[in-house]
Chain A
């Protein structure tokens, strides 16, 4: 197989699947079930995940592969994010099969857009040319703008879509201006070439402005405060399974770009951008957690929680490169597992019309849906960061990396914030197991849990648990992901302070 084709194999499979779904959509008579299209999309996503796994074998055997005139680079780092994104989309599609059954006859577009969105996100993580990153970012963003407003007829849906679109495009313009200034400072938009000439540029002010602009643009995409204003409204109005996907997959891709850009293209300005990252981290953690305390709507609460988690993830960026990449990759995986899981359970509990929205609606849910409530409780515990869940090790690696690199105050602020976060997660958890506030007829007749959705929720729960009791398997992959992204220029000493990926790490 030609190298060029091989480097983009997962993306090509997903694109072809999306196009096939779009072509097959009109063949199905109106009013008929759209499930076959959903299964087609699921097969395509599965195939792209397998293709990414195949790439991993090749990378293991013969090192990073580059293609398309060195604009695409496949290494353990990109393969990790490919696997993560395809898993998230796979689980979301499984859970959406029955969600869109009935009320919406255009669910085929939903399945196609999920495939296209995943293509864009994967594209972001394997590009080492900022032009390609920009194209990937736009493919993923435009798909998710539409997905956010997919519950047609709901007044909040178009509002959610519009807010996401306006602020997303606004952020894109900042990101693009950053690329333009980077091009001005170095004469290139390729990450390798930028790294080579950014240190000796005649206009360091331009370079600093460029880095700041790129961080602002990506800060919007990962909903880091103070660029978080869109998050609560968008998450509240968008369909619950879509929120599960768009709160994890595009963020993972944006964090991947941020890691590559900051550590590979601009390591010589580390002392400057680390201040910016620290400010963003502290603001995100504090505003996210304090905002979540005041929410009554469960999706809004989880939106503020996702802002806080973006802050915890940014704390990981203050470590040296190896630790930062490993901790950030682990955190994105753990956060994806638990947050997708939580939103999929909420999808099942509240349904298409979202009869259960506020904490009061969820009160006493354990009496009616004991299994699902227990799982939601488990995901909430993982979001808190209880040991034996993925959330614990995510926070552990992020904060220990920060402490080892002298950012003790930052770690203390993070831990204090985790304490505040306990309050609102536990309030929701306690509500699940409390006496119902009001008897609601619709909630008393539980909908049957469809098998694909059940599999999806179970997979998220298993992933969360697996990341909590044997994190070394994933840590192995993410620690190997680092050297491939290591540039020739690194100002920090290359000594890893993370515990080695060994079974004994629990005792450290």
Chain B
């Protein structure tokens, strides 16, 4: 059987990749995807711990996270479309109207 630590380390690596991509990537859609990657890493952690503790509540949590992530994606994509219409760009470096 695969030890529980493998899942946790994989989740931690995925989360770190998400954080790194969020900070490095310049395309807004890619940045948004890296947030989703972080949320999925959290989901994997939850499922692994739910298995470890023999508790179903960790798996229930995952469903809530997925539902909330879907709601967030709906709003987020709408905001991205509004921004693209106004500015014709998806590069965060060009989204800098507000400086002092």
Closest A-chain residue to B35, C-beta based?
Answer: A169
B13 in the interface, Cβ–Cβ < 8 Å? no
Q: Does B6 contact A (CB under 8 A)?
A: no
The answer to whether the Cβ of A268 comes within 8 Å of any Cβ in the partner chain is no
* Interface set, chain B 1-47, CB cutoff 8 A to A: 8, 15, 18, 22, 28, 31-32, 35, 38-39, 41-42, 45-46
Kindly state whether residue A138 has any CB partner on chain B within 8 Å.
yes
Is A149 in contact with B79, judged by CB distance below 8 angstroms?
A: yes
Q: Given A162-B28, A162-B95: A169 and B100 within 8 A (CB)?
A: no
Q: How far is the CA of A145 from the CA of B72 in the complex (A)?
A: 10
Cβ of A187 within 8 Å of any chain B Cβ, yes or no, is: yes
* A145 and B79 contact, CB distance less than 8 A: yes
A38 close to chain B: CB less than 8 A: no
Residues of A within 8 Å of B42, CB to CB, are 173, 176-177, 180
User: Given contacts A131-B61, A166-B32, is CB(A158)–CB(B72) below 8 Å?
Assistant: no
| A294–B100 touching, CB < 8 Å | yes
User: Quick check: A162 and B61 within 8 Å, CB to CB?
Assistant: no
Whether B46 pairs with A159 at a CB distance below 8 angstroms is no
In the complex, whether A146 has a CB less than 8 A from a CB of chain B is yes
Q: How far is the CB of B76 from chain A (nearest CB, A)?
A: 5
Chain-B contact segment, one of A23-31, A295-303, A365-373, A434-442: A295-303
Contact A189 B35 (CB under 8 A): no
List, in ascending order, chain B residues with CB within 8 A of A145's CB. 75-76, 79
Residues of A within 8 A of B8 (CB): 184
With a cutoff of 8 Å between Cβ atoms, the chain B residues found around residue A488 in the complex are none
A179 to B8, CA, bound (A): 14
Residue numbers in B under 8 Å from A176 (CB-CB): 39, 42, 65
Q: How many positions in chain B have a CB within 8 Å of any CB in the partner chain?
A: 41
Interface positions of A from 186 to 204, Cβ below 8 Å from B: 187-189
Chain B positions within 8 Å of A485 at CB level: none
Could you give, for residues 435-471 of chain A, a 1 whenever the CB lies within 8 Å of some chain B CB and a 0 otherwise? 0000000000000000000000000000000000000
Query: Contact between B79 and A173 (Cβ–Cβ < 8 Å)?
Result: no
Nearest B residue to A236, CB-CB: B98
Interface residues on A, range: 35 or more
| Nearest CB in chain A: distance from B37 CB, A | 9
CA distance A427 to B22 in the complex (A): 38
Chain A residues closer than 8 Å to B22, beta-carbon distance:
166, 170
* B87 x A155 contact (CB < 8 A): yes
A161 located at the interface, meaning its Cβ lies under 8 Å from any Cβ of chain B in the complex: yes
Write out the residue numbers on chain A whose beta carbons fall within 8 Å of the beta carbon of B55: 187-188
**0/1 per residue, A132-175, Cβ < 8 Å to B?**
00110010001001100100100110111111011001101100
A184 — which chain B residues lie within 8 A by C-beta? Answer: 8, 45, 48-49, 52
23 CB-based A-B contacts, threshold 8 Å? A134-B64, A134-B65, A134-B68, A135-B64, A138-B71, A145-B75, A146-B75, A146-B79, A156-B97, A158-B83, A159-B83, A159-B95, A161-B79, A165-B75, A165-B76, A166-B31, A169-B35, A169-B76, A172-B72, A177-B42, A180-B42, A187-B55, A237-B98
A→B interface (CB under 8 Å): 131, 134-135, 138, 142, 145-146, 149, 152, 155-156, 158-163, 165-166, 169-170, 172-173, 176-177, 179-181, 183-184, 187-189, 232-233, 236-237, 294-297, 300
Query: Measuring CB to CB, which residues of chain B are less than 8 angstroms from any residue of chain A?
Result: 8, 15, 18, 22, 28, 31-32, 35, 38-39, 41-42, 45-46, 48-50, 52-53, 55, 57-58, 60-61, 64-65, 68, 71-72, 75-76, 79-80, 82-83, 86-87, 95, 97-98, 100
- Can you list the 10 inter-chain pairs with the closest CB atoms, starting with the nearest? A173-B38, A184-B49, A187-B53, A180-B45, A158-B83, A158-B82, A176-B42, A138-B68, A169-B35, A233-B98
